[in-house]
Amino acid sequence: MSAAPTSEGGSADPTPVQPQVGPPVATTAPAGTAGATTPAGTAGTTAAGRAGGGHGWWFGPVPLARIAVFRAVAYLFVPVDVFLTTAWVHAHAAVPTEFYQPLAIGRLLHLPNPTPTVVHVVQWALVGAAVLAATGRAPRLLGTAVFLLYLEWMVIAMSYGKVDHDRIAYLVALAVLPTVGRARWRDRRSSEAAGWAMAAVFVAVVLTYFFAAWAKVRFGGWDWATGSTLSRAIVRRGTVLSDWMLEVPGLLPAAQWAMLVLEFASPLMLLVRSDRARVALVAFLLGFHLTVYASVAIVFLPHCVAILSVLPWERFPDAVRRRRDRPGRRTATRAQPVGAAPPG
């Protein structure tokens, strides 16, 4: 007699399974339903059976725990971004509105001019909604609020002559996370809605690289790869870790060609399947961005957060629990006398 599995990755219920009375009850949603959930062990079978026509890739079920952990990471980055990485957006509250040239989406939606009141309200409402959303409560309501407020925050930021491309994948992540609904850190049930959300973010990450290469060639021509693009960047923003590159003939043009080739080949990343390959891909991409930061002090933090969506986050809660429950830690806890003060 087997034990009934739990829905949140906990230990099995020791209560024996009772014989079913009446007609059987379906445990999965009908085929083709985006929000269908399946037991964790059947996700691969379901995805394989629907591989035709790309449905299996776009809607391949993934554990809800992956959404729960990544959602916390994505929402907790909002205060970091508002107060640290893009703190300059707040300064637009003091800029005369005559200099505000809204992006196309701002004109289409008739968004308000960024007066001091508008900027302050958006800033604090965004931070408050993001902190609450990170708890996992009211995921659709709070998640939608975070997306809309962050979109307005970006319109305020990018409507003065400069648009950063490192926000696209992160914005997509904020847009699709509310579509999944409730998810808990140890919820190992698989969901097609979760699979679609993670696939959408993955595609946005890939397209960010591809269109970055396309923009380089479109606006700079092939001279971008053969010219002194990186040399100028190092002269202007170089560090002690990159200044030596200026003295090596041919190194920087070769790096420029390599960057173009890799960015144009970025759609190949979508072929990554196994968890180990996903971890390796994330390590490679974050390593690339770390190298760029060490060389020219430029970092694309929102994009790096979106890259983290590729990781198999459902393993994280179990890894934390295994580390907390290591035999050595339990033995040390039991050996401590009752009433003794904690070490340190």
The string of DSSP letters for 232-261 reads HHHHHH--TTTGGGGGSTTHHHHHHHHHHH
Between CA 70 and CA 127 the distance in angstroms is: 17
pLDDT tens track for 167-183: 999 999 999 999 998 99
Q: What is the mean pLDDT of residues 237-244?
A: 93
Which residue, 46, 51, 52, 15, is CA-closest to 30?
46
Confidence of residue 320 (pLDDT cuts 50, 70, 90): confident
Res 80 pLDDT > 50: yes
Q: What pLDDT shows up at residue 126?
A: 97
Query: Residue 257's Cα: distance from chain center in Å?
Result: 28
Helix (H, G, I), strand (E, B) or coil at 63: strand
Q: What percent of the chain has pLDDT over 70?
A: 79
pLDDT tens track for 303-315: 999 999 999 988 8
Res 242 pLDDT > 50: yes
Bridge partners of residue 3, in order along the sequence: 16
Res 236 pLDDT > 70: yes
Res 7 pLDDT > 70: no
271 touches 278 (CB < 8 A):
no
In what order do the strands lie in the sheet containing 62-63? Answer: 37-38, 190-191, 62-63
Q: Could you tell me where the DSSP H helices lie in 95-186?
A: 104-108, 116-133, 139-158, 168-176
Contacts of 64 (CB under 8 A, 6+ apart): 37, 180, 183, 184, 187, 188, 189, 190, 191, 194
Ranges of beta strands (E only) in the chain are 3-4, 13-16, 37-38, 62-63, 190-191
Q: What is the mean pLDDT of residues 1-8?
A: 42
Res 328 pLDDT > 80: no
The DSSP 8-state label assigned to residue 17 in this structure reads: P
Confidence of residue 342 (pLDDT cuts 50, 70, 90): very low
Mean residue pLDDT across the chain: 82
Confidence of residue 330 (pLDDT cuts 50, 70, 90): low
64 touches 181 (CB < 8 A):
no
Helix (H, G, I), strand (E, B) or coil at 13: strand
How many residues does the structure list for the chain?
344
Which one has a higher pLDDT value, 35 or 297? 297
Res 263 pLDDT > 80: yes
Q: Considering only 75-79, 143-147, 160-164, which range has the smallest mean pLDDT? A: 160-164
Res 67 pLDDT > 80: yes
Between CA 193 and CA 176 the distance in angstroms is: 9
Which residue, 140, 208, 203, 207, is CA-closest to 174?
140
Verdict on whether the full-model pTM lies above 0.85: no
Q: Considering only 195-209, 257-271, 279-293, 304-318, which range has the smallest mean pLDDT? A: 304-318
Helix (H, G, I), strand (E, B) or coil at 320: helix
- Longest CA–CA span in the chain (Å) reads 80
Confidence of residue 9 (pLDDT cuts 50, 70, 90): very low
Compute the C-alpha angle 320/323/325, nearest 5°.
110
Q: What pLDDT shows up at residue 148?
A: 97
Q: What is the mean pLDDT of residues 127-136?
A: 96
Q: What b/e sequence results for 230-239 when a residue is b if at least 16 CB atoms lie within 10 Å of its CB, and e otherwise?
A: bbebbeeebe
Helix (H, G, I), strand (E, B) or coil at 37: strand
Q: Backbone phi, then psi, for 15, in 5-degree steps?
A: -70, 130
Q: What pLDDT shows up at residue 6?
A: 41
pLDDT tens track for 201-226: 999 999 999 999 999 999 989 889 99
Which one has a higher pLDDT value, 253 or 43? 253
Confidence of residue 272 (pLDDT cuts 50, 70, 90): very high
Q: What is the mean pLDDT of residues 258-269?
A: 96
